[in-house]
Structure 1
Amino acid sequence: MSIKRNIICAFAIFFIAVCCSRNSSMRGGDSLASPLMMSATDAREPGNIVINEMGMSDSVVEEMNTEEYSHIKENEFKDTVKEPLSTFSIDVDTASYSNMRRFITQNKLPPKDSIRIEELINYFSYAYPIPEDGVPFSRSMEVAECPWNNDNWLVKIGLQGYKIETKELPPMNLVFLLDVSGSMSSNQKLPLLKTAMGMLTGELRASDTVSIVVYAGAAGLVLPPTPGNDKSKILGAFNSLNAGGSTNGGEGIQLAYDVAAQNFIPNGINRVVLATDGDFNVGISSEGDLIRLIEDKRKSGIFLSVLGLGMYNLNDSMMEKLADKGNGNYAYIDTLAEAKKALVEELGSTLFAIAKDVKIQVEFNPNYVTSYRLIGYENRLLAAEDFNDDTKDAGEIGAGHSVTALYEVVPQGNLAQGGNVDSLKYQGERPLSAQSFSDEILTLKIRYKAPDSEVSELLSSTLPMPVKSINDTSTSFRFASAVAGYGLLLRDSKFKGNVSMELVKSLAMSARGEDRNGYRKEFIDLVDIARTLLEMRQP
């Protein structure tokens, strides 16, 4: 079918769809979703044309699709004797999960490199203990049989930040840097963003200060610093925004940081919140210059968080990188429910850092562990020596955040998994020390800094034997392993073992728990859709 004929058919179906549109949100009708949604089975029928938010068929839009994702090379198994230390920065971003949901609810499998498994896992909160020993977060560990490989073990490491009510947060100096370029005109972008900002405005207090900077053909200050209780003025500024023009993100960021610095609150929350589809076309001359600006401002106490919106030109790799360098977090807003989660329910987690430069280092006991593999965190890996280097940047934890990391472990006695490397000629196997014959499977070490400090603190814990049956593990263990298995399938990982969507659903169903906001139920629904999509992909 020619492109011209596709367009004519698409517009005809679009107008019919608008007349009989229905809300297809998976969580109670709060999504600004496409007016027409087919089931995954219907979408594959010959002659069916799925209409998207642009009013065009998928085949037409694919030709305009410029979404960008960084390549992910999955972590391999590491030999415990040769590489006993595993070191990485924590990651509390959740963008990969909501972006995945966007694809699945449109009956599409997401690009493999859009799936960052640690972000899928960390989208959910877990029943970890509240910290009680004067540190900002608790630590817990668990080990059991690996659900997708009965010969291996699965280790779960969990951190839980202390929680704080919104009314107890320090005063906030927030500068919203909003993309109003022409690419932001669709319903899933600027209109959704304006509604989301209205939700956040309802949470502001008199002690907070809000400014709005916009960028398109030129950057401008739409709302000068305004007290948070002047809600009508703030909402009026948000509602006056319209999309149009080319993107000049670089100039906007410079102006936003200038405004934040002029209204800096000592011991407060000073943050630039960038909302965009990531379509940076002009502005600061290079990505390197932009990164250096963000890193420099981070050192002055002004952090950067990023909200991604929309589809077809989503620059995921750029937005993740900016948030990482700005000591902030990156969330993708695909529905009003997600906006509420990120900007209302988890406002403290999103904006208030309780610890920064949080690094994890795990030392595996070769007496019990032959080899190990960190699941996810590929773009957060650190060299072993970076752990004790306080000049090395790492991730932050917000109030109430939970962080989960999983390792697949090959126990001693089983054949080590990993690359095929010849034995060393001049270095034989080093004998194990007597200490390695204890009941400890591993030692967990964590370094972190207080938000206003440049000197790290050290925490240490151990994980002892025995290894549990999967049925005897906590609901947190089973649900995290279900989400990890789901990610392995979506990535078509070579490490997926015998995991299946049936196994993923079984684990998730057994660990649904209280599920106050319905996020775990929604995940189970996504599993059902993804299973159908994967079956359709098979020859």
Structure 2
Amino acid sequence: MKTKNYFKALWLSIVCSLVSNILVAAVPNITVSGIVTDASTGHPLAGVSITIDGTHKATVSSQEGKYSITTKVNTYLRFSAIGFKTQKVQVKKTVLNIRLIPDNTILKEEAVTEYVSCDEVARPMAKMVCRAALPAPYQTSYRPAHKEEYSSFSENRFLSPDKNPLSTFSIDVDAASYANMRRFINQGQLPPKDAVRVEELVNYFSYNYSLPSGNHPVNIDTEVGICPWNKEHRLVKIGLKAKEIPSENLPEANFVFLIDVSGSMYGPTRLELVKSSLKLLVNNLREKDRVAIVVYSGSAGEVLPSTSGSEKQKIKDAIEKLTAGGSTAGGEGINLAYKIASQNFIKGGNNRIILCTDGDFNVGISDDQALETLISSKRKSGIYLTILGYGMGNYKDKKMQVLAEKGNGNHAYIDNLQEANKVLVNEFGSSLYTVANDVKLQIEFNPAQVQSYRLIGYESRMLNDEDFNDDTKDAGEIGAGHTVTAFYEVIPVGVKGNIPGTIDALKYQSSTSLNTPQLLSSKEMLTVKLRYKMPEEKQSRRIEKSLIDKGGDNVSDDFRFASAVAMFGQLLRDSDFKGNASFEKVIETARKGLGDDREGYRHEFIRLAETAGNLSK
């Protein structure tokens, strides 16, 4: 009798399941769309993740906060974004406009200075949190919270070409400072001055420079016009464009994902965003590409051996299983990642470690100098290091900036899924495949045309003049299709008044350079010299280009927009040389240079400038 009832119940269960599936299948698909805004300000939110609950199907909101996704009636959509409370909404209609509420929980978490066990209630609880009240990963260890760390630096000043005819620096392709700045402004505050690196703001955007021709993988593009924040001065733009390689023609890749899963990486803005980011990259892997996954917390370990890009689901499953907890043994993880990358090394391929972290290394090799030495020692292996920064409140920008530089790599900050898509999908070649190593620039100024000059940004990339010809001196790398931009503010000969950078005439010696016939007859303002090495070569190659200033202001849209970004960076840093710059002038200049803004990044910049202007009042 019991057996009969059992089979009867089983049969009933199967029938109900079948009926349920049929009913679900019968429900037609609908396309849900709408706009996501900040409930506190009403501003549209870009980069909000919209996921169909219980599935991996998702989309992100556009620069205008708009989204569209196909699902079924009565399913649930999850709306999540950095700094906002996640909302779960049932689909009842085709238009869903969502107002996300700012979440102060993360900020409160970062104010914690010590974690205590719950039986220590007798101790003062100010700025302490009972460990049992924390999410499970935090209960595994005590984790002091630290403030964000940025390298402090003094901005470049005006120099006289009589005494300083040469300006030498390494290129910088990083754009982490821009995304980090955007995160601050979107949270309603101006970024710390040292978090703003002007060249990284400018280099966040791509520009329409001429592609290289001949045997060189890089081309020099120059332009000069009126300086928007000081009409008496000239602004010189030096642009570099690397050769483009279609994604399908890129050499095979040997990637090692090195993922920080320590307690400081817990939460939607950290490890969960890392997982979503890497899945975007996995979607674009080819069969010939390979990925291994190494994680580190209290110790380091390999969670996925080197696996073909054809096994995308296997790689995604390994990523999805990752959880955060424990202290941070970053040095140990780096060593293991290099070991695995070396074991799977592809000659002539793209051998690269992609490190995802907030930079809070606090176990094992954690001293800054020791980490720099470790990374520098690995640089000669032909394995590049890309660092993706995540999180807020505990973010160690200072450490990651240096490690990426020492590891022949680049550094990006991922503040939302849209930024991850930009860095890891749209700019896959430029972010993750190098076409030229140790790229240096040296600009020689003609004192017959230039009274004084200053380089805007690149303070951490300055080189000695003799380093330009020294092939043992490390410099920056440039990826396929990448553009790099540098600006010089120039005071031409003939401008009167107190000229910064000039000095009194010398009593015991005099300069004869201005009396040479060649210099007196030359109309050249400057000459740009560039050195680079082809990957796997040790000897550099050299190219150069001269610039003549014909006066006027007949400049490109790219020039106007990039100069607006440079002006914006100087305002955020409260530069001594910002002249009559203003947020209104930034917006006006940027609008004149919008050009063909297909991705909407330039429009987003104008919105940020408008917000920053309001915050500065």
Does TM-score exceed 0.5, indicating one fold? yes
After superposition, the Cα gap between the structure-2 partners of 1:406 and 1:57, relative to the gap in structure 1 and judged at 3 Å, is same
Deviations 1:426-457 (A, max 9, x none): 32233412222311110010000001101000
Q: How far 1:292 sits from its partner (Å)?
A: 2.0
1:5 aligned partner: none
For residues 282 and 378 of structure 1, the distance between their equivalents in structure 2, rounded to whole angstroms, comes to: 31
2:511 aligned partner: 429
Q: Does 1:478 align with 2:560?
A: yes
For residues 485 and 449 of structure 1, the distance between their equivalents in structure 2, rounded to whole angstroms, comes to: 32
Q: Does 1:204 align with 2:285?
A: yes
After superposition, the Cα gap between the structure-2 partners of 1:416 and 1:55, relative to the gap in structure 1 and judged at 3 Å, is closer
For residues 527 and 504 of structure 2, the distance between their equivalents in structure 1, rounded to whole angstroms, comes to: 29
For residues 353 and 468 of structure 1, the distance between their equivalents in structure 2, rounded to whole angstroms, comes to: 37
1:266 aligned partner: 347
- List alignment gaps of at least 5 residues for structure 1: 1-16, 38-48
Q: How far 1:29 sits from its partner (Å)?
A: 6.1
Q: How far 1:57 sits from its partner (Å)?
A: 9.1
Equivalent AA in structure 1 for residue 270 of structure 2:
K
Q: How far 1:56 sits from its partner (Å)?
A: 3.2
- Select between 420-429 and 481-490 the one with higher mean Cα deviation: 420-429
What is the correspondence of 1:8-157 to structure 2 with a 5 Å cutoff? 24-25=45-46, 27=63, 28=65, 32-35=81-84, 51-52=103-104, 54=106, 56=108, 66-157=147-238
2:541 aligned partner: 457
Equivalent AA in structure 2 for residue 284 of structure 1:
I
Equivalent AA in structure 2 for residue 496 of structure 1:
K
Q: How far 1:509 sits from its partner (Å)?
A: 0.5
1:158 aligned partner: 239
2:96 aligned partner: none
For residues 29 and 302 of structure 1, the distance between their equivalents in structure 2, rounded to whole angstroms, comes to: 40
**Secondary structure of the equivalent of 2:448?**
coil
Equivalent AA in structure 1 for residue 518 of structure 2:
Q
**Secondary structure of the equivalent of 1:515?**
coil
Q: Which of 301, 304, 309 pairs up with 2:390? A: 309
Deviations 1:477-505 (A, max 9, x none): 10110000000100011110001111111
Equivalent AA in structure 2 for residue 341 of structure 1:
K
Is the Cα contact below 8 Å between 2:83 and 2:102 reproduced in 1? no
For residues 78 and 36 of structure 1, the distance between their equivalents in structure 2, rounded to whole angstroms, comes to: 50
- Give the count of matched residue pairs: 503
Deviations 1:195-237 (A, max 9, x none): 0111000011111110000000110101111111101110010
Q: Does 1:516 align with 2:598?
A: yes
For residues 419 and 464 of structure 1, the distance between their equivalents in structure 2, rounded to whole angstroms, comes to: 22
Is the Cα contact below 8 Å between 1:370 and 1:416 reproduced in 2? no
What is the correspondence of 1:130-529 to structure 2 with a 5 Å cutoff? 130-284=211-365, 286-414=367-495, 415=497, 417-418=499-500, 423-432=505-514, 433-437=516-520, 438-469=522-553, 472-529=554-611
Is the Cα contact below 8 Å between 1:349 and 1:398 reproduced in 2? yes
**Secondary structure of the equivalent of 2:108?**
coil
For residues 29 and 314 of structure 1, the distance between their equivalents in structure 2, rounded to whole angstroms, comes to: 29
Q: How far 1:381 sits from its partner (Å)?
A: 0.2
- Select between 409-418 and 25-34 the one with higher mean Cα deviation: 25-34
- List alignment gaps of at least 5 residues for structure 2: 1-37, 48-62, 68-79, 87-100, 114-126, 128-144
Q: How far 1:34 sits from its partner (Å)?
A: 2.1
Q: How far 1:514 sits from its partner (Å)?
A: 0.9
After superposition, the Cα gap between the structure-2 partners of 1:149 and 1:395, relative to the gap in structure 1 and judged at 3 Å, is same
Is the Cα contact below 8 Å between 2:255 and 2:341 reproduced in 1? yes
**Secondary structure of the equivalent of 1:291?**
helix
Q: How far 1:55 sits from its partner (Å)?
A: 6.4
For residues 331 and 430 of structure 1, the distance between their equivalents in structure 2, rounded to whole angstroms, comes to: 47
Q: How far 1:25 sits from its partner (Å)?
A: 2.8
Between 1 and 2, higher relative CO (CA 8 Å, sep ≥ 6) is seen in 1
Is the Cα contact below 8 Å between 1:50 and 1:57 reproduced in 2? no
Q: How far 1:424 sits from its partner (Å)?
A: 3.6
Is the Cα contact below 8 Å between 2:254 and 2:351 reproduced in 1? yes
Q: How far 1:300 sits from its partner (Å)?
A: 1.3
Q: How far 1:465 sits from its partner (Å)?
A: 2.5
Q: Work out which of the two has the higher radius of gyration on C-alpha atoms and give 1 or 2.
A: 2
After superposition, the Cα gap between the structure-2 partners of 1:495 and 1:454, relative to the gap in structure 1 and judged at 3 Å, is same
Equivalent AA in structure 1 for residue 459 of structure 2:
E
Q: How far 1:194 sits from its partner (Å)?
A: 0.3
**Secondary structure of the equivalent of 1:54?**
helix
**Secondary structure of the equivalent of 1:151?**
coil
For residues 371 and 454 of structure 1, the distance between their equivalents in structure 2, rounded to whole angstroms, comes to: 35
Deviations 1:325-357 (A, max 9, x none): 011000000010000000000111111100010
Is the Cα contact below 8 Å between 2:446 and 2:525 reproduced in 1? yes
After superposition, the Cα gap between the structure-2 partners of 1:200 and 1:74, relative to the gap in structure 1 and judged at 3 Å, is same
Equivalent AA in structure 2 for residue 310 of structure 1:
G
Equivalent AA in structure 2 for residue 25 of structure 1:
A
For residues 351 and 103 of structure 2, the distance between their equivalents in structure 1, rounded to whole angstroms, comes to: 42
After superposition, the Cα gap between the structure-2 partners of 1:439 and 1:173, relative to the gap in structure 1 and judged at 3 Å, is same
**Secondary structure of the equivalent of 2:106?**
coil
For residues 516 and 22 of structure 1, the distance between their equivalents in structure 2, rounded to whole angstroms, comes to: 21
1:3 aligned partner: none
**Secondary structure of the equivalent of 1:131?**
coil
For residues 242 and 81 of structure 1, the distance between their equivalents in structure 2, rounded to whole angstroms, comes to: 59
Deviations 1:105-150 (A, max 9, x none): 0010000000000000000000101112221121111111111001
After superposition, the Cα gap between the structure-2 partners of 1:218 and 1:304, relative to the gap in structure 1 and judged at 3 Å, is same
RMSD between aligned residues: 2.2
For residues 459 and 55 of structure 1, the distance between their equivalents in structure 2, rounded to whole angstroms, comes to: 50
Q: How far 1:32 sits from its partner (Å)?
A: 2.2
For residues 318 and 401 of structure 2, the distance between their equivalents in structure 1, rounded to whole angstroms, comes to: 27
Is the Cα contact below 8 Å between 2:329 and 2:366 reproduced in 1? no
% identical equivalent positions: 53
**Secondary structure of the equivalent of 2:570?**
helix
For residues 334 and 172 of structure 1, the distance between their equivalents in structure 2, rounded to whole angstroms, comes to: 26
Deviations 1:56-81 (A, max 9, x none): 399889x8651000002100100110
Query: What's the TM-score once normalised by structure 2's chain length?
Result: 0.78
